[in-house]
Amino acid sequence: MKNDLWTFTNRNGDFIFSKPEEISRLYFPLANEAEFMSSVTPLLKGDIKIGQNNFLMLPVTSEDLYSTISGRNFWIYINQNNYWAINGTPHLPDNHDEEVTLKAGILWHTVKRTNKIIGLTAEITNFIPASGEHVELMTVKIINTSARAITFTPTSAIPIFGRSADNLRDHRHVTSLLHRTKLASNGIIVKPEMSFDERGHKINFYSYYVLGCEEDSALCIGQFPSIESFIGEGGSFICPRAVFEDYAPVKKVEARHHGKEAIGALRFRKKTLIPDESITYILMLGIAQQPSEIKRIYEKFNNIDKVKNALRDNIDYWKKRIDAISFCTGELINDNWLRWVGLQPILRKIFGCSFLPDFDYGRGGKGWRDLWQDCLTLILAYPEQIRDILIANFSGVRIDGTNATIITKKPGVFISDRNKISRVWMDHGVWPFFTLQLYINQTGDFDILFGKSTYFYDSQLSRAKEIDTSWNPNLKHFKQLHTKDGHLYQGTVLEHILVQHMVQFFNVGKHNNIKLEDADWNDGLDMASEKGESVAFTCFYARNIYEITMLLLELKKRRKKKTIRISKELFILLDRLHSRPINYNRSDEKVTLLRRYLNAVKTRVSGKKVSVKLENLIADLSQKWQWMFSHVRKKEWIALNKNSGFFNGYYDNRGKRVEGKINSRIRMTLTGQVFPIMSGISSKKQTKHILAAANKYLKDKKLGSFRLNTDFKKPQTDLGRAFAFSYGEKENGSVFSHMCVMFAYALYQRNFVQEGFSVLESLMHLATNTRVSKIYPCLPEYFNLEGKGMYSYLTGSASWYILTMLTQVFGVKGHFGNMIIEPKLSSRQFKDSDTVSMSCYFAQRRLSIIFVNPEKIDFLDYKITEIKIKPFKIAYKRSGTRKLKFLREDILSFPKNTHITIEITLDK
């Protein structure tokens, strides 16, 4: 696919973008894994922070990117008639004589700006060192591109906000009075005396700084410590009097400079460049807790060779990280775009769901769903690194099957909702097992099921229907579940999984589907807590219970294990092991049994364990998932005609069906179809009918992908706020990447390969059509009615896209620790070449898997006919199979540091 705005320049994801300033809301992430975070635009706007309470630069949203003039400003002053803001001022008419090109790669960003009138070119590079320092490095290279010598005076102008984002609208002036500014020989350091925010009044230990030097370590000749001293009375950031009138810099901080809005305005010595000569200025924009950190960072990066080495190390570091899972599809744009998608789960781990301009909500961190889904690609790449994290994450589960909603940066540490709002997302119970199952399949580590973890405890009881008024959040032991005799209670990971799924099996509405409660995956379905039901996630829970059953069968076979121990209270929900099991067709009987369980675990548990025979547990679970499958198939299918139909996905707060033909209009959701297909509840015939309906009612013919729902035309106050959004935005009918990718995943699972490939391809085409999407290479959260990409980089859809490409498209996946290769490749993927490949890790071995399809045969027609394993000179032929199985012990027999290549021939 051709893109006329930017072009990839290699296979590492590097690209060149012409005239990037013509798109108003472009932004680019910079970060390291020490969680120093920033965003930068073609005009060098954006912000820099380490968290909600520590912003170096002014916090910005996407709307600020074109309206603010605060940024990483750098001025060149020649005389009163010739001056230049090298970061760009596109609103000024003389900027028509500037040429701008942006070059960027994985977490580095360079803007090249040429001013034809003045005769200078500036190349500005920004990156955050991968070595872990809390600093953004910025180099400004000035080149004389004229035919004459040019003399100029350079001045940086980077405003220092130096406090919490809360203070943008909460005591902004008062908190500036706390600033104490120090002029160092190499820059400006601001250390507020205190901080005022929701945490209270505290002594501050953080310093915010802008340091600088020339390429040979020559220092600046002075500074302007406050915005007042820089812009001058009557001046502005567009016309700063310190630049335009060539003010002499301040040599010493006076009392009048303290308690003011600060700025990293460093004046460098006057410089003359002859034609083709250049000079580079180095700026360090950072946050530190100790003065020694500032000194150490300056000494590490205070000449151009040090910075070049740091940039080279940065590029190498991120290349290695992204290479962990990489693809060669035969299309350069697709392969490079996938590198950016592969970066996104790492960015979400660093940024959480905040701290980039589109994400103007939250206070950092991530939600429960994010916590687990962001593990997916990490498990595929480095499963051995994540075992302890998975076990620790289960300590966020409550004994009523709900979970903590605020996740701290420390694994296994959770807090109650900071807004003290009791709410429950009914889908939260599915994600931990889905993630754990992937881990077990990749590693064969069944022992993790018996790892011990605590349960989260706070004032929220009985799935947020009751409150423990005695709960004290200031007492540490109150944050974990205890027994009635006061001991800390722990259960196995398996017990936590069973709690999450058994509670939900009985937590049903009058239509016998699991209650919607305060929302499911779609946060916008938040107004049906009384009578709402989610058929969609009933399907997901049903599939999980099926998969748990299969896992236990394998456990029984592998470990010869006959019994497991679970809490005495949980046994209540294993009703098929009771003398009087309930009737699953009676929703009232289910709710009564659940109430009995919730009363038994309300504030504390007995601490007593019971032994359950594994074969009996398997029998109980089998009856549950079989009943759920049958129920949805019988009760929720909507036939439109003999070739078209779909599943109802929801009931609203009146207990009415949401989907179907209502008031002569078809209402349909994509979510309501994805999970019946993915779970296996939808038959092959029904899946064909769903595709026919989705193509007619959900597919946007112009954009080529599927919308989240049809237009319901008016707010749905009995279902959720989403339907008050403008249609085509966010959860109301946008092309929502996450659900589209899961749709593709589900279709691949069911061998609808062409259809699944088309969904994935449509998202890639939307994302890389920048004239429409108006984004850099990435997979955004959604595409709106116009096709514009919204909420770039921090979306769970990226993990699912990589998961789908690896385990479904290329078919490389684990199964109870063994490796399965089951490629589901469309003939369209071989249009330009007869070979595609991918690289990944399995059992800590580096693998490259090459698929050769000389006749370009489609999935349903090809078989695996030949296998070659290099460098071991292993070769053998196969016939009549589309799937290979490699035992784990066979893979482990290969030397650990050997790069293994498996070449697979596909033929008739």
The H or E element containing residue 852 is strand 845-852
Residue 384's pLDDT band (cuts 50, 70, 90): confident
Helix%, strand%, coil% for the chain, nearest 5: 35, 30, 40
Mean pLDDT value of segment 352-377:
84
| Averaged pLDDT for residues 502-509 | 98
Question: What type of residue sits at position 822?
Answer: E
Question: Is the pLDDT assigned to residue 281 strictly greater than 80?
Answer: yes
End-to-end CA distance of the chain: 30
Question: What's the pLDDT tens digit per position in 448-463?
Answer: 999 999 999 999 999 9
Does 240 sit behind a cis peptide bond, omega within 30 degrees of 0 on the bond before it? Answer: no
- Tell which wins on pLDDT, 573 or 477: 573
**HSE of 133 in the Cβ direction (CA atoms, 13 Å)?**
22
pLDDT in tens, 235-254: 999 999 999 999 999 988 88
What residue ranges in 348-440 does DSSP mark as E strands?
406-407, 414-415
Among 39-48, 587-596, 710-719, 890-899, where is mean pLDDT lowest? Answer: 890-899
On the question of pLDDT at 197 being above 70, the answer is no
How far is it, in rounded angstroms, from Cα 630 to Cα 633?
5
Q: Mean pLDDT across the chain, nearest whole number?
A: 94
Q: Average the pLDDT over each of 93-97, 556-560, 726-730, 758-762 and give the range with the smallest value.
A: 93-97
Q: State phi, psi for 727 to the nearest 5 degrees.
A: -60, 135
Specify whether the CB–CB gap between 106 and 319 falls below 8 A. Answer: yes
What average pLDDT score do residues 684-703 get? 97
Q: For the segment 221-237, what is each residue's pLDDT rounded down to a tens digit?
A: 999 999 999 999 999 99
Q: How many CB atoms lie within 10 A of CB 457?
A: 22
Neighbouring C-alpha atoms within 13 Å toward the C-beta of 1? 18
Closest CA to 744 of 763, 733, 734, 757: 757
pLDDT score, position 569: 98
pLDDT (average), residues 805-821: 97
Cα angle for residues 496, 409, 340 (degrees, 5° grid): 100
pTM: 0.96
Q: Tell me the pLDDT band of 2, cut-offs 50, 70 and 90.
A: low
Eight-class DSSP state of 217: -
pLDDT of residue 883: 94
Q: What is the mean pLDDT of residues 132-147?
A: 98
Which tokens in the block code for residue 272?
């003359």
Report the distance separating Cα 353 and Cα 796, nearest Å. 10
| Residue 461: DSSP 8-state | E
Mean pLDDT computed over 497-502 = 98
Region 478-501 average pLDDT: 95
Q: What percent of the chain has pLDDT over 90?
A: 83
Check pLDDT > 50 for residue 1. no
* Distance (Å, whole) CA 630 – CA 637: 11
Residue 176, pLDDT > 60, answer yes
Rounded CA gap, 161 and 190, in Å?
Answer: 9
pLDDT for 418: 58
- Going by C-alpha positions, the residue among 352, 392, 354 that lies closest to residue 374 is 352
Q: Quick one: tokens of 618?
A: 């398997």
pLDDT above 90: residue 739: yes
Lowest mean pLDDT among 252-256, 604-608, 848-852: 252-256
Q: How confident is the model at residue 852 (pLDDT cuts 50, 70, 90)?
A: very high
Q: Taking Cα atoms as reference points, which of 138, 133, 106 lies closest to residue 34?
A: 133
Which pairing describes strands 899-907 and 845-852: parallel, antiparallel, or unpaired?
A: parallel
The whole-number pLDDT of residue 477 equals: 64
Percent of the chain predicted with pLDDT > 70: 97
For the record, the structure tokens of 30 come out as 């910079």
- In terms of average pLDDT, the best of 206-215, 380-389, 875-884 is 206-215
